[in-house]
Amino acid sequence: MSFTDELKSAVTPRAALLVIGVLALQLLFIASYVGALHDPKLKDAPFGVVAPGPAAKETAAKLRKLPGEPLDPRVLKDEATARDQIMNRDIDGALLLDPRGTDDTLLVGSGGGTVLATALEKIATQVEADQQRTVKAVDVAPASPDDFNGLSSFYLVVGWCVGGYLCASILAISAGSRATNRQRALIRTGAMALYSIAGGLGGALIIGPILGALPGSIMGLWGLGSLVVFSVGMITLALQSLTGIVGIGLAVLLVVIAGNPSAGGAFPLPMLPPFWKAIGPWLPPGAGTWAARSIAYFKGNAITGPMLVLAAWAVLGTAITLVMSALRGDRQPGRDKTLGAP
């Protein structure tokens, strides 16, 4: 064969489309990560104000009018309420004005992201200086000294997500991207569940007892990790059942390209641009990161929503996988029923 003939034989339309798809994913990866993280700016961070009499509303009004609207202030009745709301993750910080002097207190929770706590302290210090007052930061939910910048939760969840879509991808590569009938799909789902349990436990043990990077309940992190891995794995299997091997790329688009930069890991949600801030809580990396930080630093508060998000992805992925495999089995009754045979 001539070189031209060999080229035509080697570069099939399908191969060309796959390469173009990979190029698109690469460019989207760059655009998403740089777009989300290159210029973090605090915007509408929930923030409490505790002060006597009319000073509370006046201070809240001044904070609301700060350039760029970094804070979304609300008046709270006392310090105990402010601390409770921080621990419940309803607010990110609170300013307590001293009615008898000029030394005020800023409550933060660095367990939710040290970069966010630092940004709040910087804003409060500047505002107080303009009023000839001083402020002292008090961390009511401090990040572990072995959890640099509060990133361990995020990296833990990223690892769980990677395990989920890699396991599903291996099933596709080794045994066909589409299960041929419902029984085979159930076997894949069961294998994914067992892998998720093992992966969740392994991650919880590494991040906790082995490395000491993250406090919190090992059982809680194990359960969270199992759900993260299973949800990502099943949505990957679902995408593969719909589109074949292309589903691996779609899973990368969903979890890695869209999910990771919007997860609130490097920069918590109030510091992300509007698009990433909006989608982050609804994707597995964002839901998992929020829940992991809550388990580690906030007594497990405010995890119902993220856990429901993860459960919804798991249920959706399982349902699509089983339905598509059943339809495929009905349409191809004479085909080989071996595991994953196309």
| Ordered per-residue pLDDT tens for the chain, 342 residues | 677 777 677 777 877 888 899 999 999 999 999 999 999 999 999 999 999 999 999 999 999 999 999 999 999 999 999 999 999 999 999 999 998 899 999 999 999 999 999 999 999 999 999 989 999 999 999 999 999 888 999 999 999 999 999 999 998 777 655 666 778 889 899 999 999 999 999 999 999 999 999 999 999 999 999 999 999 999 999 999 999 888 999 999 999 999 999 999 999 999 999 999 999 999 999 999 999 999 999 999 999 999 999 999 999 999 999 999 888 766 654 444 433 433
Of 108, 139, 170, the domain-final residue: 139
Q: 135 and 274: one domain?
A: no
Asked if the structure places residue 309 within a domain, the reply is yes
Q: 3-class DSSP state for residue 224?
A: helix
For residue 49, the cross-strand partners are 75, 95
Tokens linked to 177 = 């991207």
Tokens linked to 65 = 């009018």
Q: Are 221 and 208 within 8 A, CB to CB?
A: yes
Q: 135 and 164: one domain?
A: no
Q: 193 and 237: one domain?
A: yes
Q: 113 and 199: one domain?
A: no
pLDDT at 181: 72
Of 103, 118, 139, the domain-final residue: 139
Tokens linked to 337 = 């029923």
Asked if the structure places residue 26 within a domain, the reply is no
Nearest to 189 by CA among 150, 155, 240: 240
Asked if the structure places residue 34 within a domain, the reply is no
Structural domain boundaries enclosing 125: 45-139
Tokens linked to 118 = 């630092």
Computed over its alpha carbons, how large is the radius of gyration of the chain?
24
Q: 3-class DSSP state for residue 100?
A: coil
Q: 294 and 166: one domain?
A: yes
CA distance 96 to 49: 6
Q: 132 and 160: one domain?
A: no
Q: 200 and 292: one domain?
A: yes
Q: 3-class DSSP state for residue 144?
A: coil
Asked if the structure places residue 339 within a domain, the reply is no
In this structure, is the dihedral angle defined by the CA atoms of residues 227, 232, 236 and 239, taken in order, positive or negative?
positive
Q: What total number of domains does the chain contain?
A: 2
Of 139, 161, 189, the domain-final residue: 139
Q: 109 and 180: one domain?
A: no
Asked if the structure places residue 19 within a domain, the reply is no
Q: 228 and 307: one domain?
A: yes
Q: 161 and 61: one domain?
A: no
| Number of residues that this document lists for the chain | 342
Asked if the structure places residue 224 within a domain, the reply is yes
The pTM assigned to this predicted structure is 0.90
CA distance 61 to 292: 34
Q: 223 and 187: one domain?
A: yes
Asked if the structure places residue 338 within a domain, the reply is no
Asked if the structure places residue 240 within a domain, the reply is yes
CA distances from 170 to 116, 160, 177, 223, 255 (A): 38, 15, 9, 23, 17
Q: How many CB atoms are closer than 10 A to CB 135?
A: 23
Q: 122 and 190: one domain?
A: no
Name residue, tokens 């173009």: 20
